[in-house]
Amino acid sequence: MENIRTPKVEHVRLIDRTNPRRCSVGTLYLSSTHSIFVENTEARRETWVLHSLVSSVERPPVSPSGNPLVIRCKNFQVFQLLIPQEKDCLDVQASLSRLSRPERYGELSCFSFNPNLNKEARDEAWSFIDLRGDYVRMGIPSNLWYITAANSEYRVCDTYPSDLYVPKSATPSVIVGSAKFRSRGRFPVLSYYHRDNSASICRSSQPLSGFSARSTEDEQMIQAIMKSNPASEFMYVVDTRPKLNAMANRAAGKGYENEDHYTNIKLQFIGIENIHVMRNSQQKIIDVGQVRSPSMGDFLWGLENSGWLKHIKAVMDAGVFIARAVAEEGISVLVHCSDGWDRTAQACSVASILLDPYYRTLKGFMVLIEKDWVAFGHKFSHRYGHLDSDPKEISPVMDQFLECVWQLMEQFPCAFEFNERFLLQLHTYVYSCQYGNFLANSQKERRDLRIQERTHSVWPHLWKDQAEYSNPLYRADHSQTQGVLRPVTTPYCFKFWKAMYNRLDQASAARQSPADCLSAVREETQQLEEELSTHQEVPRGTVHSPTRQENSFSQGEEDGGGAKEDDQSQ
Amino acid sequence: MEFAELIKTPRVDGVVLHRPFLPLVEGTLCLTGHHLILSSRQDNTEELWLLHADIDFIEKRFVGSSGTIIVKCKDLRIIQLDIPGMEECLNIASSIEALSTLDSVSLMYPFFYRPMFEVIEDGWNLFLPEESFKDLESMTDEWRLSEVNRDFSICPSYPPLVVVPKDTDDDTLLKVASFRHGGRFPVLSYYHKKNGMVMMRAGQPLIGPNGRRCKEDEKLINATLRAGKRGYIIDTRATAVAQQAKARGGGFEQEANYPQWRRIHKTIERYSVLQDSLIKLVEACNDQSHSMDRWLSKLEASNWLSHIKEILTTACLAAQCIDREGATVLVHGTEGTDSTLQVTSLAQILLDPSCRTIRGFQALVEREWLQAGHPFQHRCAQSAYSSGKLHGEAPIFLLFLDCTWQILRQFPCSFEFNENFLVLLFEHAYATQFGTFLGNSAAERSATLKLPQKTVSLWSWVNRPQEMEGFVNPLYEPNSLVIWPSVAPQSLQLWEGVFLRWNRSSKCLDEAYEEMVHIIEYNKELQKKVNSLRRQLAQLETEGSPLHTP
């Protein structure tokens, strides 16, 4: 490929980030999708770096031992290389810089990734997640809600999915009128329906209300949503922005609902900051995680100064507010921010997780992401920098959602069917584009790219490895897996997500994890149950061959049990 | 009895009790010599039995004719009592104040407590120095048990029996004792079986402004070195602090006189700084109105986690010198009764798997804290709600327990005990019905207070199978290796089980723990069943085999 200047460099040293005095020597290969470092040892250990995951390639000053090259990845892994020849180093840097910033979708790895599936298997994989099925699960369509064809061929809103659910009384003219009164035509539609009490979560973008504009259709739409919850007398409109930002938008002819024009709504501002604030904040927390041997003061100061946990708390608070309104007050909520694809997605999906135990299962979580993020037009390619485009569009919106889920896992260890590893893996896939799910910025764009024919779906792949991603403490009949979660959001309940932001401390991954120990125990338990049932099936007095399975019994002492001796990280 | 004079109003009716996570209880408040009791006389409500000794501080508030007493406990819990009647409230408050600050140790509850259980194994005889010396003797003959301090005259804070190098006679020890702070001459703290290296501890050498030296001291510690090997002296004070100590008669080992030793200074803070840190931390944890920024800045300003990091780092250093460098280590600070013990005891947890068992940990506390003369009575007289002038109160032992918890968190399978066991020790170090943590030294405990005869040992109670059950870590798999915890700030956490215990419900975490226990117990049960079936099968096969093989 023309972008690879040097396909192979020898005598490269890969430096151990936990102990800079240690390194391994080997050969660096550049393919069109990966950089591969192969150790010159008998084991020929390989380190693969996906180019689409590379966020930056830096060349610190030349040292006597060689030409250093630092590769930083979007999942916060860092690789440090020492290359003997300056020319090679420059070539690798240039190649990687180019390869990690594709200009066209076609260059992304999902289009060349081939997991050896035939066409049927591929199609089946794409239908693994069934969003209509999820609405059916919630009891929709019903006598109050229906699926509208208004957006087929993305005629009304090109960033919305073609299937949309609206109140029965919302006629096509109300839909079109409301869409005209909302930023980018993102009119209020159903995101989640709480079967227990008919309260719902709807989502939209901001109204184009400015200082005085109004739209009868939009008002009718809101009224229709409120009426679809027969027992209620009002509904909440949650504007997830800080009030000041929302007010500033009015000058641009946008803003928020005027309570004088909409009857029976209560406006609530939550105060989640915009994507630019979040991007800067995350950069700071990444820096905090990557400082080598900081003092406790440096670390805590950095944590505070980044503002990151404050933002995570704001997202969580939004979800908690909505979930409480729906479950406890029985009041429907319309959620919006500016365009309704970032903060709105965060708030709706956190609320859904709190409200509905299904979304806390592995499959349910996939459905939730496919619905509130992928289908509703979260701009994955812009936010996660899949292509070489405007860096100001990049922002860790999804990262924050995943972190909210992790913070919930810390508070409710038995509530989730999946584990932290699943969140981390998903985070990597969102950025890496090995699969087509998170490609582009809307359903329409993905259709135009024909991703279902040209790429693969990540969900069946993750599903296949569910043993790896399951939480051993999860039990479908446990009290934490029932009903609504009510997290505490006092600041001390939020923790630094070490596994995400401190991958440098790889040694800690080798340390004991109670979850892994338990998983091993559960696996062994399962084997025991199987053996027990086979023993019991054997009719009494029958003697059979003694060779049966005796060897498949390891004593459950594989990993996790004994500690490995490893380095103190300082 | 004297208590009666202090109790002006022994009972008040209609008192309302507010407690964290529990519904209000209205009932009768009674004061006894040692307890504050609130009983609603209803079967289904739990009564409050609070030791006066557990009360750290009280606040009074009055509205109209009724008053409120806020009781802040040493275990960090805060409860509130609404008392009808101004006079009653004042009387109760002054009685609590008097009863919770009794000067005389012999009036403390442990001297009045009679166990409601049968003592099967007397905790007072469990960890005798003679016994642990037998273990040492089986590994090496380079050490001896000295009775030089049998009447506590050489070193009032040492136990009657100490382990010293074999070739050092008692006369030498006498001379060395006069050269070390508090008479604390270097004694053996730990023998590393793997490579025969040792850790010793002592008080600071009394160099003074004129650079005094003591040849016997040099000879004693040199006797522990292997030929041609160097040792490490870990001074738990910053260099400047150690320098300043010279002016007051203390100091550190001069290179010229100890050429075979390399001295390393670490900075573990002294007691008043640590007490201040605890007060700030608990204040930050108790204020739920903080914004995220304020919480993080208060957490940082408390410096508690910095102290944890420093102590753990020093313990890792000591362990590294012994295990990795194969060197002998001598640890001291100023007195050798606080930071020194934090370091020597934590280093043993890292190095010696037996310290990670329940009995082993008890033995460690007994050996490195109680016998080694940590002044529990002084240090634990007040907890986080203390105010005004302090008299040597400091959370030295709590910091040790917190550090242990940090290691336990990083190695959740390597400890036989769980977090509850550490919390229990924290509680009992501050207020207790048992005699174990009373007094400041072995001398006080056995000679003055006669605790073994007059009180019950905490170990007697805790080691009963029915109590032990709650303290066993279900994940425990004996691990014979040295463990190296990470001391990076990202790896250290606030000990929620102590500091947030009364601020946020631990229900979901407790459920997770129960779930874990359940999973493991079910596994064991199945293993038992399968094994018995396998045995039956094997038996059937041996019985059956003659039929098949003629």
B122 occurs within a structural domain = no
Whether B94 and B213 share a structural domain:
no
Say which residues have a Cβ less than 8 Å from residue B73's Cβ, sequence separation at least 6: B50, B54, B55, B56, B79, B383, B431
- From A89, A110, A202, A337, the catalytic residue: A337
* Dist. CA B482–CA B460, nearest whole Å: 30
Quick check: A565 contacting B, CB < 8 Å? yes
Size of the A and B interface in Cβ pairs below 8 Å: 194
Q: How far apart are CA B534 and CA B366, in angstroms?
A: 45
Q: What is the pLDDT of residue A512?
A: 72
Please list, in sequence order, all residues whose beta carbon lies within 8 angstroms of the beta carbon of residue B535, skipping any fewer than 6 positions away: none
- pLDDT tens readout for residues B498-527: 999 999 999 999 999 999 999 999 999 999
* Cα separation, B368 vs A236, whole angstroms: 62
Per the structure, the count of domains in chain B is 3
CATH number at residue B14: 2.30.29.30
Q: Which residues of A touch B313 (CB under 8 A)?
A: 570
pLDDT (mean) for A164-170:
95
Asked if residue B134 is part of any domain, the answer here is: no
Q: How far does the CA of residue B351 sit from the closest CA of chain A (Å)?
A: 11
Q: In chain B, which residues have their Cβ closer than 8 Å to the Cβ of A502?
A: 488, 490
Judged by a CB distance cut-off of 8 A, whether residue A296 touches chain B is: yes
**pLDDT(A317) > 90:** yes
- Give yes or no for A211 touching B (CB within 8 A): no
Record: contact B491-A498, CB cut-off 8 A:
yes
Does B76 lie in the same domain as B209? no
Q: Are B491 and B531 contained in the same domain? A: no
CA–CA separation, B529 vs B462, rounded Å? Answer: 31
Which tokens is A369 given?
Answer: 């992401």
Residues 6 or more apart whose CB falls under 8 angstroms from that of A411 comprise A487, A488, A493, B508
> What's the burial of B394, exposed, middle or buried (CB within 10 Å: 0-12/13-18/19+)?
buried
Kindly determine whether residue B484 and residue A567, on different chains, have CB atoms separated by under 8 Å: yes
Residue A150 to residues A145, A218, A381, B246, B348, Cα–Cα distance (Å): 14, 15, 26, 87, 72
| pLDDT(A550) > 60 | no
Q: What is the mean pLDDT of the segment spanning A463-470?
A: 94
Which residue range forms the structural domain that includes residue B532? 509-548
* Torsions phi, psi for A188 (to 5 deg): -65, 125
- Segment A323-342 shows an average pLDDT of 96
Q: What is the pLDDT of residues A73-112, one digit of tens each?
A: 999 988 999 999 999 999 999 999 988 888 999 888 898 8
Q: Tell me if B108 is assigned to some domain.
A: no
User: Distance between the two ends of chain A, CA-based, in angstroms?
Assistant: 43
Q: Which residues pair with A83 in a beta bridge?
A: A67
Strand segments, DSSP code E, in B448-494 are none
Cα A475 versus chain centre, distance: 23
State residue A567's pLDDT score: 41
Q: Which residues of A touch B309 (CB under 8 A)?
A: 295-296
Task: Output B42 or B327, whichever has higher pLDDT.
Answer: B327
* In a shared domain, residues B199 and B79: no
The pLDDT of residue A17 is: 74
pLDDT, mean of residues B364-382? 96
- Measured distance CA(B418)–CA(B302) in Å, rounded: 27
Asked if pLDDT for residue A560 goes beyond 70, the answer is no
**At residue A542, does pLDDT exceed 90?**
no
Residue B244 lies in a domain: yes
Q: What is the mean pLDDT of residues B149-165?
A: 96
> B472 φ, ψ to 5°?
-90, 130
pLDDT at A537 over 80: no
For a pLDDT cut of 70, what percent of chain B falls above it? 98
Q: Which of A6-15, A319-328, A355-364 has the lowest mean pLDDT?
A: A6-15
B228-260 per-residue burial string, b: 16 or more CB within 10 A, e: under 16: eeebbbbbbbeeebbeebbeeebbbbeeebbee
CB-nearest partner of B500 from A289, A492, A508: A492
Q: Which residues contact B508 (CB under 8 A, 6 or more apart)?
A: A411, A412, A413, A414, A415, A480
Residues B516 and B476 in one domain: no
Q: List, in sequence order, every residue forming a beta bridge with B30; answer none if it has no partner.
A: B11, B37
Residue in A427, A496, A419 with CA at minimum distance from that of residue A77: A427
Q: Are residues B153 and B198 in the same domain?
A: yes
Cα-based distances in Å from A465 to A316, A452, B297: 29, 22, 42
From start to end of A199-264, where are the E strands? 200-204, 235-239
Name the closest residue on chain A to residue B505, using Cα atoms: A488
Which pLDDT band, with edges at 50, 70 and 90, does B361 fall under? very high
Beta-carbon contacts of residue B92 (< 8 Å; ≥ 6 apart): B9, B12, B29, B31, B69, B81, B83
Comparing A313-322, B24-33, B178-187, the range with the smallest average pLDDT is B24-33
Nearest by CB to residue B291, choosing from A298, A491, A535, is A491
Report d(CA A528, CA B526) in Å as an integer.
6
CA–CA distance, A326 with A332 (Å, rounded to integer): 6
Shared-domain flag, residues B481 and B527: no
Q: Per the domain annotation, does B109 fall within a domain?
A: no
- The predicted pLDDT at position A509 comes to 44
What Cα–Cα distance (Å) separates residue B545 from each residue in A229, A263, A492, A545?
A: 75, 88, 67, 11
> Both B259 and B229 in a single domain?
yes
Question: For position B271, what pLDDT does the model report?
Answer: 87
Same structural domain, B192 and B279: yes
Q: In chain B, what is the straight-line distance between the N-terminal and C-terminal CA atoms, in Å?
A: 89
User: Is the residue at B56 inside a domain?
Assistant: yes
Residue A537 CB partners (closer than 8 Å, separation 6+) = none
Q: Are B208 and B339 in contact (CB under 8 A)?
A: no
Chain B contact for A566 (CB, 8 A cutoff): yes
Under 8 Å between Cβ of A238 and A270: yes
The reply to whether B110 falls in a domain is no
Q: How far apart are CA B46 and CA B42, in angstroms?
A: 9
Q: Where are the alpha helices (DSSP H) in A291-418?
A: 296-306, 308-324, 343-355, 362-368, 380-383, 397-411
Give the model confidence (pLDDT) of B374-415 as tens digits. Answer: 999 999 999 999 877 788 999 999 999 999 999 999 999 999
Residues of A in contact with B300 (CB under 8 A): 296-297, 300-301, 304
* Same domain flag for B308 and B436: yes
DSSP code string of B378-417: HHTSS-TT--S--SS---HHHHHHHHHHHHHHHSTTS-SB
Confidence bin at B463 (pLDDT 50/70/90)? very high
Last residue of a domain, one of B102, B129, B155: B102
